[in-house]
Amino acid sequence: MMNDDLERVAIVATAQTQLRSAWGSMQHVDLIGATVNDLLNGSGFRIQDIDVIIDCGSDVLDGRSISNCGFLGAMGAHHKEESRVEEDGIFGAIYGANKVSGGSADVALVIAYSKPSESSVAGYYSTLSEPFYQRPLGLDHISAAGLLANQYLTYSGASEEDLITIAFESWRKASHNKDVEMLGAPSRDDIARAVRIADPLTAPQISRNVDGAVAILIAKESVARKLSDKPVWITGIGSAIDSHYLTERVPGKMKAAETATKFALKSAGISDIKQFKLAEVSATSSANEAMVVEAMGFADFGKAINCYSENSAVSINPSGGAIPADPIMATGLVRLHEAYKQLSGGYGEVKFDKAIAHGAGGLGMQNHCVITLEA
């Protein structure tokens, strides 16, 4: 990435379907085809310019083994190199960036998609759990979120009110994001009084699963400069995995998110996280989001809430983040797309010169990935 003989790589275009509770009128292939088509339109690139497709989806969510096999045509992957990373799309973005940066491809398409509405999200998450000691007890993403939130409050000194605020801010921002289908944002009171779905978390504090697809185009510098008028450079990448057992993780903290951030900053040659004024982070609950924000270094232990006030130095999830709209396999790539949009004028006046995007996968957010961008 920051090596002498390697070309820099840039995101040159992104596209995303609206994120909806259910895209009942579309199959996976339809969402994928529409997204790739939108991506290419106006990008300066044609399907023939793409050398490799990295796709991210889940067999279990799709209800189909090697599900990418049935979607290759819709991705434009026919007779191209293709690889499926069965993880959040942001991990696919790392593969795409490496492929281009290392010289194996000039242009890479990374696409992530899912339709949780077609399957059982509890089934997807419970099958992630270890089959002898955890799954038979009924552990899934809801109970995992509750346990991790309980630990966060116990150890960090943060309050339930803090978590409600984080959820409130997320829903509020998402209600202005036309790419998130929403009926309206819940009030603080609505959130506090909602069903305690996994104590201490109320229902609106657990991420809402949505259907959607998102794609990004990555190109090497010489190509990016020729064909794109708004390249955004990928400056750093990092990922790290935490313990599979929730009981082995450091209570109240996301150590793997910390490590992933360190790797990303190191490869970007940036020593201070505070240089980033824009962060798009993924989360499966309000408490998990707080832990990610702290793990990245934006706030001390228990103090993530400070990043959600008006005078916070860093803007966390202007898109609303993942709590209102979590398409599972695509969530992190959506964050990357949102960050790209901010830096490339997709939201009007460009307010930031760099951004950091985060994604995660697994039960209780076990596997973390961080990418830094610069305009």
Partner 1 sequence: MNNTFTSGIGDDAVLEAQINLPYTLTTGKAAGTFLVALDQKIILGTTCEKCQKVIVPATDYCGACGGQNVGFLEMPHSGAITAVTKVDDKVFIFVHLDGADIDLLHIFHGDLSTAKVGARVTAKWPESVEVASRITSLDGFELAKDSAVGSSKPFTGTIEPISEMPYKLSLNYKHSYGPHYGRMFDELATNQRIIGSRCSACHNVLVPPREYCDICYAQTDLYKDVSDAGKLQAFSIINLEFVGQTRTPPYVYGEVVLDGSATRLIHNIGGFDITKAKEILTIGMQVKAVWRPKDQCKGTLDDIEYFQPVFE
Partner 2 sequence: MRNVAILGVGQTNHARRRTDVSTIGLSREAVLRALEDADLTMDDIDSVVVCSGPVLFAAVNQPEKWLADAIGARNKPVVRVTSGGGTGLAGALAAVNQVRAGHANRVLVIAYDKLSEGALQYSISTLYDPFWGREFAVGIMGFSAAYWKSRMDLLGHSEEAAAMVSVKNHKNALLNPYAHVKKEITVEDVLNSKPLCWPIKLLDVPPISDGACAVILGSEDAAKKSENPAWIRGMAYYCEAENAAYRSMIQSEPLTIAAAKVYRQAGITNPRRQVDVVEVQEPYTCFELSYYEGLGLCPSGGAAELMASGATQIDGDIPVNPSGGCMGANPIGATALIRLAEVAQQVRGKAGAYQIEGAKVGLAQAGGGWANLRGVAVVSSEKG
47 vs 273 by CB, closer to partner 1 = 47
Q: Which residues pair with 358 in a beta bridge?
A: 370
Partner interacting with residue 103 (select from partner 1, partner 2, none; CB below 5-8 Å by kind): partner 2
As a residue count, the chain comes to: 375
95 binds, among partner 1, partner 2, none (CB under 5 to 8 A by kind): partner 2
Residue 366 binding partner per list partner 1, partner 2, none, with a CB distance cut-off of 5 to 8 Å that depends on partner kind: partner 2
In a 10 Å sphere around its CB, with 0-12 CB exposed, 13-18 middle and 19+ buried, how is residue 25 labelled? exposed
C-beta neighbour count of 218 within 10 angstroms:
30
Q: How far is the CB of 8 from partner 1 (least distance, A)?
A: 28
Q: Where in 337-366 is the site for partner 2 (CB under 8 A)?
A: 361-363, 366
The window from 16-24, 92-100, 165-173, 264-272 that contacts partner 1 (CB under 8 A) reads 16-24
Q: Does residue 266 bind partner 2 (CB under 8 A)?
A: no
**Residue 44 or 70 having the CB closest to partner 2:** 70
CA distance 68 to 284: 25
Q: How far is it, in rounded angstroms, from Cα 339 to Cα 356?
A: 7
State the binding string over 121-150 for partner 1 (x if CB under 8 A, else -): --x---x---xxxx-xxxx--xx-xxx-xx
Binding partner selected for residue 70 from partner 1, partner 2, none, CB under the kind-specific 5 to 8 Å limit: partner 2
Q: Map the footprint of partner 2 across residues 54-93, applying CB under 8 A.
A: 58-60, 63-66, 68-70, 72-73, 77-87, 91
Q: What are the tokens at 61?
A: 């969510």
Among 6, 7, 21, 34, indicate the residue that binds partner 1 (CB under 8 A).
Answer: 34
Kindly compute the dihedral angle of the four CA atoms of residues 80, 83, 84, 85, in this order, to the nearest 10 degrees.
Answer: -140
Minimum Å gap between C-beta 198 and partner 1 is: 5
Q: Cα(89)–Cα(85) distance, rounded to whole angstroms?
A: 8
**CB neighbours of residue 130 within 10 Å:** 12
Residues between 105 and 134 that touch partner 2 (CB under 8 A): 124, 127-128, 130-131
Based on CB atoms, which residue is closest to partner 1, 147 or 167?
147
Q: Are 222 and 7 in contact (CB under 8 A)?
A: yes
Q: Are 326 and 210 in contact (CB under 8 A)?
A: yes
Binding range to partner 1, per CB under 8 A, among 181-189, 196-204, 323-331, 347-355: 196-204
Distances (CA, A) of 343 to 230, 231, 233: 9, 9, 10
**Interaction of residue 238 with partner 2, rule CB under 8 A:** yes
| CB burial readout 266-294, b (16+ within 10 A) else e | ebbebeebeebebbbbbbbbbbbbbbbbb
Which of partner 1, partner 2, none does residue 288 bind (CB under 5 to 8 Å by kind)? Answer: none
Provide the 8-state DSSP code for 244: S
Site string for partner 1, 228-257 (x = CB under 8 A): ---------------xxxxxx--x------
Burial 359-375 (b: 16+ CB within 10 A, else e): bbbbbbbbbbbbbbbbb
d(CA 244, CA 252): 16
What are the two backbone dihedrals, phi and then psi, of residue 57, each rounded to the nearest 5 degrees? -165, 175
Would you count residue 244 as binding partner 2 (CB under 8 A)?
A: yes
Contacting residues toward partner 2, per CB under 8 A: 1, 3, 5-6, 58-60, 63-66, 68-70, 72-73, 77-87, 91, 94-95, 97-99, 101-104, 124, 127-128, 130-131, 237-245, 248, 255-256, 259-260, 263, 267, 361-363, 366-367
- Applying CB under 8 A, the residues found at the interface with partner 1 are 22-27, 29-30, 33-34, 37, 47, 60, 63, 72-74, 76, 78, 115, 117-120, 123, 127, 131-134, 136-139, 142-143, 145-147, 149-151, 154, 196-200, 243-248, 251
